[in-house]
Amino acid sequence: MSKKDIVLAFSGGLDTSFCVPYLQERGWNVHTVFADTGGVDAEERKFIEDRAAELGVSSHVTVDGGPAIWEGFVKPFVWAGEGYQGQYPLLVSDRYLIVDAALARANDLGTNAIAHGCTGMGNDQVRFDLAVKASGDYRIVAPIREIQKEHTQTRAYEQQYLEQRGFGVRAKQKAYTINENLLGVTMSGGEIDRWEAPGEGARGWCAPRSEWPEAPLRVALRFVRGEAVALDGVEMPGARLLAKLNALFAAYGVGRGMYTGDTTIGLKGRIVYEAPGLAALLAAHRALEEAVLTKQQNRFKPEVARKWVELVYEGFYHDPLKTDLETFLASSQTTVNGEVVLETRGGRVDAVAVASPHLLHAKGATYAQSADWGVEEAEGFIKLFGMSSTLWAEINK
């Protein structure tokens, strides 16, 4: 293959569509890869393939990334049970699986040139570049970063660039940057970037309040060693299970939020996100975990989880510390086995029933109701437990 071959991680959106003619006009033979991480239907997948052909790429391949994103991200993320800064469910973590697919294609073609459509203003460039650098000696080309050296209104420039060459731009893409995968949907741009209320166009899977069903939804999830393996008694692969949860809970508007966070590069990032399936998984897993882990495990584990989430968010997906932390997280899941019933009436999801052979339930005691110890024992415990504070109060009054 020619040394001018380059592999572009491609989604068919405005940024990656712009990248194709931009790279071609600079002498590259562009080979596109779409890593289908589960967020598109057959119609959208065909649109992406047709878009690549319309743009005149040298070759295009589509890779099924659903199983990889479940094993590589969803399992440890649910084990961790924490969003970034306590909220954001890391919906962009499919980027690492996209990098893997692009690198595999580059190796097949015998080229070390990799391109992406990340801007110089966001976090994805960090995730993409660090993942590539951790995988070998590759050349990274980032067309959007290049044009940002000369143009401040980047999206308008990209749109004009494509239209001048006879390529249309979707109306939605003119207003928002929309990322969709098995994990959920994120939307930025337009009024969201202006710190204004999101418009009606800034909506993905989650139904608005006026469309929520009247009857509540109840589902049962079964977990084995912290991994969801069955939905309503039916065993299925993780990626398919998450897709079903997305469809079920999106109809009730579950998992939608607005997030403003501290990005890796130092700016404040503001997005609308929707993650109905992950919201359901996290609610069920947390309820089960809280019931079967010891108090010390439940207290300490969030510290490990927060560090794991920070590493993944900031691009250190291949850092050895992440692997070390996952070893701890996997160990903590030994007894996280059982079934959880979830219920929603719209907007939020609650775990309403938990069953497990490992439930830490004292046979002779029920909180605030009955106990298998005496009143004197309780009073003695309180005296000793609060001794330090009591002494401080007596001495320093």
Q: Rounded to whole angstroms, how far apart are CA atoms 146 and 152?
A: 11
* Local confidence band at 171 (pLDDT 50, 70, 90 cut-offs): low
* Least-confidence region, from 32-41, 72-81, 225-234: 32-41
The CATH 3.40.50.620 portion of the chain extends over 5-177
Residue 365 has pLDDT above 70, yes or no: no
The answer, as to whether pTM is greater than 0.95, is: no
Neighbouring C-alpha atoms within 13 Å toward the C-beta of 46: 3
pLDDT above 90 as % of the chain: 70
CA dist list (Å): 71 to 77, 231, 237:
10, 18, 10
- pLDDT tens digits for 244-269? 999 999 999 999 999 887 877 777 87
C-alpha–C-alpha distance, residues 301 and 304, integer Å: 5
Confidence of residue 3 (pLDDT cuts 50, 70, 90): low
How much is the pLDDT for 170?
Answer: 77
Tokens, residue 68: 């990889």
Check whether 144 has a pLDDT greater than 80: yes
The DSSP symbol for 208 reads P
Tokens of residue 86, six digits: 């306590």
- More confident call, 121 vs 241: 241
- The pLDDT of residue 377 is 86
| CATH 3.90.1260.10 boundaries in the chain | 186-355
What is the per-residue pLDDT for 329?
98
Judge whether 16 and 173 are in contact, CB under 8 Å: no
Q: State the CATH architecture for 5-177.
A: 3-Layer(aba) Sandwich (3.40)
Q: What angle do CA 114, 132, 141 make, to 5 degrees?
A: 30
- Structural fold of domain 186-355: Argininosuccinate synthetase, chain A, domain 2 (3.90.1260)
Residues 89 and 274: their CA atoms lie apart, in Å, by: 9
Q: Which of 232, 228, 305 is nearest to 71 (CA)?
A: 228
Burial grade of 151 (CB within 10 A; 0-12, 13-18, 19 or more): middle
Q: How confident is the model at residue 328 (pLDDT cuts 50, 70, 90)?
A: very high
Average pLDDT over residues 383-393: 90
- By three-state DSSP, how is residue 336 classified? coil
Q: How large is the average pLDDT for residues 1-7? A: 77
Residue 279 has pLDDT above 50, yes or no: yes
Q: Which residues contact 349 (CB under 8 A, 6 or more apart)?
A: 249, 252, 254, 255, 279, 280, 283, 342, 343
One-letter identity of residue 113:
A
pLDDT at 41 over 90: no
pLDDT of residue 209: 94
**HEC profile of 54-104:** HCCCCEEEEEECHHHHHHHHHHHHHHHCCCECCCECCHHHHHHHHHHHHHH
Query: What digits encode the pLDDT tens for the residues 216-234?
Result: 999 999 999 999 999 999 9
- Between CA 79 and CA 72 the distance in angstroms is 12
CA 24, 27, 30 angle in degrees (round to 5)? Answer: 45
Residues 114, 24: Cα–Cα separation, whole Å: 14
Task: State what percent of residues in the chain have pLDDT above 70.
Answer: 95
pLDDT over threshold 90, residue 13: no
Q: How confident is the model at residue 240 (pLDDT cuts 50, 70, 90)?
A: very high
Mean pLDDT over 272-287 rounds to 97
Structural contact between residues 9 and 115, judged by C-beta atoms closer than 8 angstroms: yes
Look at residue 373 in the predicted model and tell me its pLDDT. Answer: 76
In terms of Cβ atoms closer than 10 Å to its own Cβ (0-12, 13-18, 19+), residue 362 is: exposed
Give 245's DSSP letter: H
* pLDDT score of 374: 78
Q: Which DSSP helix (H) or strand (E) runs through 270? A: strand 268-274
Average pLDDT over residues 185-212: 90
**Quick one: average pLDDT of 54-76?**
94
- In single-letter form, the type of residue at position 161 comes to Y
Residue 1: pLDDT band by 50, 70, 90 thresholds?
Answer: very low
Q: What is the pLDDT of residue 255?
A: 96
Using DSSP's 3-state secondary structure scheme, residue 130 falls into: helix
How confident is the model at residue 172, as a pLDDT? 58
288, burial (CB in 10 Å: exposed 0-12, middle 13-18, buried 19+): buried
71 token code pair: 């094993």
Q: Which residues contact 237 (CB under 8 A, 6 or more apart)?
A: 67, 70
Q: Do 281 and 242 touch, CB atoms closer than 8 A?
A: yes
